[in-house]
Amino acid sequence: MDDQLHRSLGLTDDELAKIIEILGRDPNHLELAMYSVMWSEHCSYKSSRIHLKRLPTEGKNVLVGPGENAGVIDVGDGIAIALRIESHNHPSYIEPYQGAATGVGGIIRDIFTMGARPIAIMDPLRFGPLEDARSRWVAEGVVSGISGYGNSVGVPNVGGEIVFDETYKGNPLVNVLCVGILPKERLVLGQASGIGNLAVLLGSTTGRDGIGGVSVLASAGFGDEEEDAEKRPSVQVGDPFEEKRLIEACLELLDEGLVVGIQDLGGAGLACAASETASRGGVGMDFNVSAVPQREAGMQPFEIMTSESQERMLAIVEPENLEQVFAICNKWEIRSSVVGKVTPSGALRIVDDFDGEVLGEVPAASLHEDAPLYERPISEPDDMDTAITDQATTLPGPEKIEDDLFDLLMSPQWATSQYDSQLFLNTVVGPGSNAAVLRLKHPTSGEDTGRGMALTTDGNHRWCAINPRIGSAMTVAESVLNLACVGAVPQALVNCLNFGNPENPVVMWQLSEAVDGMAEACNAFDLPVVGGNVSLYNESQGTNIDPTPIVGVIGLINDLSKAPPGLTWDDGDRIILLGPEANGLNGSAWAFMKGHRRGSLDPIDFDLHQRVCALTRDLVTKELVTGLHDISTGGLGVSAAEMAINSGVGCTLARTPDHIAFFSESPSRVILAVNPELLTEVEQLAAEYDVPHERIGLAHGDIFTVKNLLTVPVKDLQEKWDNRLSDALDGGTTQG
């Protein structure tokens, strides 16, 4: 065996020794290739598993938790919801359009693999600074890829985030969340069972695109441009129209009860799908590589098994149902081929014809259950003590506060306008609000339940760069408050943990701290973590990104007879601020804009936050507010400006003495717009919930005024809001 082969495949010497111990012999090239992709960071979570165990994953409504293709929760009326979030960071830097497009395709397959019809996606995106030409090119391609695939496959994009910051220069973050709905009885798991049952490959042909994607791309950082260009063949190529047919074929197969298990083909391709389905079912599988439809001539067995070609599924089918399966696939013009047989051996055997040569044989469970588990060194930053003392409040205040406000305003419209958010006519609140809201309809009858589901994605690298534990907890808290602003009760959370090189002890400290902060917040809010993804090696030229845990949270609205209030106010409304006083500028967008990335964060008061959320939900449910907005990025200044922009109505704000109060992003705060006739009732309710509140202004006219700080026409705010992103991206020019 070539002494260097395992290293070229991304395996260490110690990992090779473990493989030899498992097999009792030297592995061949095919076997090494399968271990390489399955033991990659992306597939095995070998650096993060010991930490992820600390997250709460159980809840009364949880049907399926972490470890399957998607989490599933019971929402009543015989309805279940599947949700998952994934990353496609590295492919999207190398090939922005296809990297982002196949990220959408992959997350959609995760959802319908569970028996759910995908009904919505969200896309939290992070790019380098707008001033950087390469970052703009990546952003254009990513947005185009998301819209090109999502619009074509027919799943609405209902929200997300778009952030530009120096930390993502050379390493963007492209995270995608998908939600699906299913009748509880259609729930199916990705496992093989029944000795003699057949593994049927559904969907597209297998090519060389995406070979080594999880090891070449997802488990390594970026180097120089020449080296990165060589990685392009590892980026998959998507076909949304094939995916649409695949969705319909798979859901019909499940409705007819013709499938006993099903698994999508994403990272690690057939090696992953075959081994995971067998292992989960406690069985083995003989896999016939010669039966796999190939789009390229001369493919080697290791290429067939590790290719990450898109739009493919592996279904476990009883032999007597095979002809019906073929008939349904033919109806939807989907290829279907028997490629495997379930065996009692516990081994994954790769064969050239079922009665032909054995090309490789490994214990199926060893490809993931025996993956190495690393307890990597952890060390907090050397400058932690001095960083804490460097407070952003010591920065000089702006000469013209309106100029800083302008620099913080940016509409996501350039991106969201390229997405179809109204497919199925099911979206009540789309992009640009506190949270997305969809009607909850029965998945088989289509009957409207009168209830709604709310979705939000949130992340804040600024908070987490200063204190990953508190920053992660604040991120979860922000999501819970966003849901409260549309009247929703949170039900479950999924996460995408984007961090740098795990071989760096500081990065591992960041990850460990972030997990603990997220666990603390989820426990406080009784919010189970039902799935997630860990994306490591997010670094460029040896520089790690700021820790960026992204969370997606789903909530339920019991009565959706009326749409929730948005980010608006009416002329004459009183403006109320809920929550505690602002407590500084550390981690704020304003401070980072000034180059200040240090300081400290105060721990979040979970009890107070819960009361603020409960009060906010009650105000929305009782229709006591014209509009409302949580205070987050940009502080009170940006949140109030956005309400003025969305309304076309100005305001006069008082009790905002300086730029600290104006730009602080302290948690647990909400702006309310209240009709004067309802003011007393709102204030009484706030007192009952023991939530601090004060009147801070009046909505009126067409001027945005903050007493003793600034006076700006709303139309000027509107212009900056509308044009900043589109001007930077050449008026919406994208690559195909």
> Which member of 6, 42, 90, 659 is catalytic?
42
Contacts for 448 with CB less than 8 Å, ≥ 6 apart? 439, 440, 441
Which residue is it, tokens 């090239």? 29
Q: What percentage of the chain's residues is helix, strand, coil (to nearest 5)?
A: 40, 25, 35
| E strand segments, 445-507 | 448-459, 489-498
**Phi, psi for 9 (deg, rounded to 5):** -90, 0
Smallest CA-to-CA distance from 707 within 401, 272, 332, 331 is with 401
Question: How far is the C-alpha of 219 from the C-alpha of 4, rounded, in Å?
Answer: 19
Q: Are 408 and 130 in contact (CB under 8 A)?
A: no
Residue 626 in 3-state DSSP?
coil
The two tokens of residue 689 are 């919930």
Task: Please indicate whether residue 88 is annotated as part of the active site.
Answer: yes
Pairing label, strands 427-429, 539-540: unpaired
Q: Are 151 and 520 in contact (CB under 8 A)?
A: no
Question: How far is the C-alpha of 368 from the C-alpha of 495, rounded, in Å?
Answer: 21
Question: How far is the C-alpha of 75 from the C-alpha of 70, rounded, in Å?
Answer: 16
> Which member of 88, 461, 609, 693 is catalytic?
88
Contacts for 402 with CB less than 8 Å, ≥ 6 apart? 710, 712
Q: Are 567 and 646 in contact (CB under 8 A)?
A: yes
Question: How far is the C-alpha of 472 from the C-alpha of 477, rounded, in Å?
Answer: 9
| E strand segments, 184-276 | 198-203, 261-264
The alpha carbon torsion through 583, 587, 591, 593 (nearest 10 deg) reads -150
Question: How far is the C-alpha of 716 from the C-alpha of 721, rounded, in Å?
Answer: 9
Q: Is the dihedral of CA 560, 162, 569, 577 positive or negative?
A: positive
Q: Tell me how long the chain is.
A: 736
Q: Are 716 and 650 in contact (CB under 8 A)?
A: no
Smallest CA-to-CA distance from 612 within 480, 458, 436 is with 480
**Residue 115 Rama label (left phi>0; alpha psi -120 to 50; beta):** left
Contacts for 95 with CB less than 8 Å, ≥ 6 apart? 141, 232, 235
| CA contacts within 13 A on the Cβ side of 389 | 3
Residue 710 in 3-state DSSP?
strand
Question: How far is the C-alpha of 142 from the C-alpha of 149, rounded, in Å?
Answer: 11
* Rg over CA atoms, the chain: 26
Pairing label, strands 117-127, 173-183: antiparallel
Q: Which residues pair with 86 in a beta bridge?
A: 176
Question: How far is the C-alpha of 400 from the C-alpha of 380, rounded, in Å?
Answer: 38
Question: How would DSSP label each residue in 402-457?
Answer: HHHHHHH---THHHHTTS---GGG-EEE-TTSSSEEEEEE-TTT--EEEEEEEEEE
Active site residues: 42, 88
